Structure 1
Amino acid sequence: MSGPLAGKVCIVTGASRGIGKGIALQLGEAGATVYITGKYLFCIFFFCCGLSPSGDVKVGGTLQSTAEEIESRGGKCIPVQCDHSNDEDVNKLFERVKTEQNGRLDVLVNNAYSGVTAIAASIKAGNTFWEEEDGMWDTINKVGLRGHYIAAVHAARLMVPAKQGLIINVSSPGGLMHFATIPYCIGKSGCDRMASECAIDLRKHNIAYVSLWPGAVRTEHVLSFGKGNEDQSADDKASKMMKRMIETGETPEFAGKAVVHLAADPNIMKKSGKIVHTTWVANEHGYSDVDGRHHINPFSIKYMLNLSGHTWLAGVTPEFIRFPGWMVAAMYHHF
């Protein structure tokens, strides 16, 4: 298959559904050979990349169905059952890629995450960190933060001899603020810091490492969240803002388009060690979401006005007027 990533070998962890699936679909469509991982090949299980509204909602999806959709688009996909909390499973995954692809690995996307149900339950209960169940840290960060690091170690061992490659952590602004649960915030902040620190060691080997922030994404679970909160008070400002975020949210494949452009960017080393937002990549390369929509930079004044309900004022405000990065950091960090 031809495409901007023809001949490339990629791994996307946690690709049964949601953002991981969207990334895998776009990589396959761009011509790459894509290895996708998940805990189960065929079973329906609970998963979401980001926040889940409720631990009671079941959303289906399998590695096999993702692989079939990639193949139907003309791509090549290899589904691999892998529990990212099990180091031996991860080792077998990378050994398989090494053997089957003659040691080649061009892109690793760290997306696997298993703490969604625990986070949802904690939000619902309104727990402080000392009221959480024992083991909450591991529940949220063993597959997430720790799993990303272990996968990055294995990926680097394949990429360094080739003197090329790209590693991406799917993260979120959750590392900037007090949100959801403490282990979640620390985990997302750690994902960003991991990209920054690992990039230092990898730079001399021409390997880039970035942290990717999608915006609000219309995953299966997020859409279920919207339906599950329709009975909330119309006067609840937080609920109104959440509803607008969902309505204007990205499709899961928008992050995939960002990954494709990052992987094909000849100047990717300039972004290494940095946080990259999906809308920034879209604006840089001039593309829209798969449904044709243009997504507004979430750090722009226009986005904030639209989210708060001032749609008329947002309509006449240029998108390029935005909060600078240093100001955003200063707002949420206390030194």
Structure 2
Amino acid sequence: MGPSSPPEAPDSSPVPNSAPLTGSDLAGRVALVAGGTRGAGRGIAVQLGAAGATVYVTGRTSGSERSEMDRPETIEETAALVDAAGGRGIAVQVDHLVPDQVSALVARISGEQGALHILVNDIWGAEIEWNKSVWESSLDTGLHTLRHTLRLAVDTHAITSHFALQLLIETPGGLVVEMTDGTDEYNADNYRVSFFYDLAKAAVNRMAFALAHELAPHGATAVALTPGWLRSEAMLQAHGVTEATWRDAIAHAPHFAISESPAYVGRAVAALARDPEVARWNGQSLSSGQLAQVYGFTDTDGSRPDAWRYLTEVQDRGLPADVTGYR
């Protein structure tokens, strides 16, 4: 792949042995899920563990200290869930805005494991002022939001990649997953509710594209991956439901019927990690629903929600909520 040539379109036909992950498919693999405290990061860490991987789970909220997000979920809880799923979870408190902490983390992984096979950049945490145009907010507030958003959504990913990829490329076949919100195709045609949020997520997608060019000569693959309408802990709380009762929210938010659990995108990452032909996706912008059709995994309820197709064809057209054919 040349530095100015676009990635080739992947063959999206199912790969051999594309059944859902079971047992120890990823035994011996080492993963770093940066930002694995909750949400998609937690779902990814647990599903990698379910496939037998050793997973380093990082974040700022531990059992003894919370980040400014002030959420109760901790990295230790995620690591315990990885263990319970069949893998090995290792919680390490890291502020990924601090290069020395990230460098020390990678040195620890190298010393303890000797390799890094999978890097998931899922760091986020910015507070966004929604439904206000860039001129409706004060300039000071807007610029503060922009700096904060881009630092947490972009700087952390760049810092982590700088250190972690030096170890990852030592073993051919490495995988880097840049977690984002929205596919390139969807984001190109749709405003993402906030000027600042739109910029941040576009930057993450572009980072995956750039990393794909730099990693290809080393036999590694980089992709951008988005879940659909994710039932994160915060989302469930906002709707006044739990993962067990999430369907109750459909009464006041009908399109919530297309939502998906964090396990779904976790299974997408695990499927990519075990695919011997994963390089076919290099530089691509992918979704959990898209990959479910290729690899054959399902969400926890046995369905395959395809949220981004649903958004385009149903919700954004103002049609009544109907997930028939979309999950």
Q: TM-score, normalised by structure 2?
A: 0.80
Is 1:158 matched with 2:167?
yes
Aligned residue for 1:173, secondary structure, equals coil
What's the offset of the Cα at 1:44? 6.7
Measured on the aligned residues, the alpha-carbon RMSD in Å equals: 3.0
Query: What does the per-residue CA deviation read over 1:186-239, in whole Å, with 9 as the maximum and x for residues that have no partner?
Result: 1110111111111112111110000001100011111222239xxxxxxxxxx9
- Distance in 2, matches of 1:192 and 1:241, equals 33
- Distance in 2, matches of 1:95 and 1:188, equals 29
Q: Contact (CA 8 Å) 1:296, 1:303: kept in 2 or not?
A: no
Is 1:71 matched with 2:83?
yes
**Bigger Cα displacement from structure 2, 283-292 vs 4-13:** 283-292
Q: Contact (CA 8 Å) 1:140, 1:183: kept in 2 or not?
A: yes
Is 1:123 matched with 2:161?
no
What's the offset of the Cα at 1:126? 6.3
Is 1:143 matched with 2:156?
no
Is 1:210 matched with 2:223?
yes
Q: Which residue of 1 aligns with 2:180?
A: 171
- Distance in 2, matches of 1:86 and 1:194, equals 19
Query: What does the per-residue CA deviation read over 1:259-302, in whole Å, with 9 as the maximum and x for residues that have no partner?
Result: 00011111111101010110011111112102223213522589
**Bigger Cα displacement from structure 2, 60-69 vs 25-34:** 60-69
- Distance in 2, matches of 1:259 and 1:161, equals 21
Gaps of 5+ in 2: 1-21, 242-248
1:285 paired residue among 286, 295, 304 = 295
**Alpha-carbon distance change, 247 to 220 in structure 1, aligned in 2, over 3 angstroms:** farther
Q: Contact (CA 8 Å) 1:46, 1:60: kept in 2 or not?
A: no
Q: Which residue of 2 aligns with 1:31?
A: 52
Is 1:99 matched with 2:111?
yes
Aligned residues: 293
Q: Which residue of 2 aligns with 1:90?
A: 102
Does 1 or 2 have the higher relative contact order (CA < 8 Å, sep 6+)? 2
Aligned residue for 2:169, secondary structure, equals helix
Is 1:61 matched with 2:73?
yes
- Distance in 2, matches of 1:86 and 1:29, equals 30
- Distance in 2, matches of 1:139 and 1:301, equals 29
- Distance in 1, matches of 2:193 and 2:68, equals 17
Q: Contact (CA 8 Å) 1:165, 1:206: kept in 2 or not?
A: yes
1:17 paired residue among 34, 38, 45 = 38
- Distance in 1, matches of 2:104 and 2:196, equals 28
Q: Contact (CA 8 Å) 1:218, 1:250: kept in 2 or not?
A: yes
What's the offset of the Cα at 1:65? 1.3
What's the offset of the Cα at 1:172? 1.0
What's the offset of the Cα at 1:307? 8.3
Q: Which residue of 1 aligns with 2:285?
A: 275
1:261 paired residue among 244, 267, 271 = 271
Query: What does the per-residue CA deviation read over 1:238-264, in whole Å, with 9 as the maximum and x for residues that have no partner?
Result: x99992333431101111000000111
What's the offset of the Cα at 1:80? 0.3
Q: 2:75 corresponds to which letter in structure 1?
A: L
Q: Percent sequence identity over matched residues?
A: 27
Q: Contact (CA 8 Å) 1:31, 1:75: kept in 2 or not?
A: yes
Q: Which residue of 2 aligns with 1:6?
A: 27
Q: Contact (CA 8 Å) 1:170, 1:211: kept in 2 or not?
A: yes
1:224 paired residue among 237, 250, 255 = 237
Q: Which residue of 2 aligns with 1:323?
A: none
Q: Contact (CA 8 Å) 1:19, 1:219: kept in 2 or not?
A: yes
Q: Contact (CA 8 Å) 2:61, 2:67: kept in 1 or not?
A: no
Q: Contact (CA 8 Å) 2:46, 2:82: kept in 1 or not?
A: yes
Is 1:250 matched with 2:250?
no
What's the offset of the Cα at 1:17? 1.2
Q: Contact (CA 8 Å) 1:165, 1:207: kept in 2 or not?
A: yes
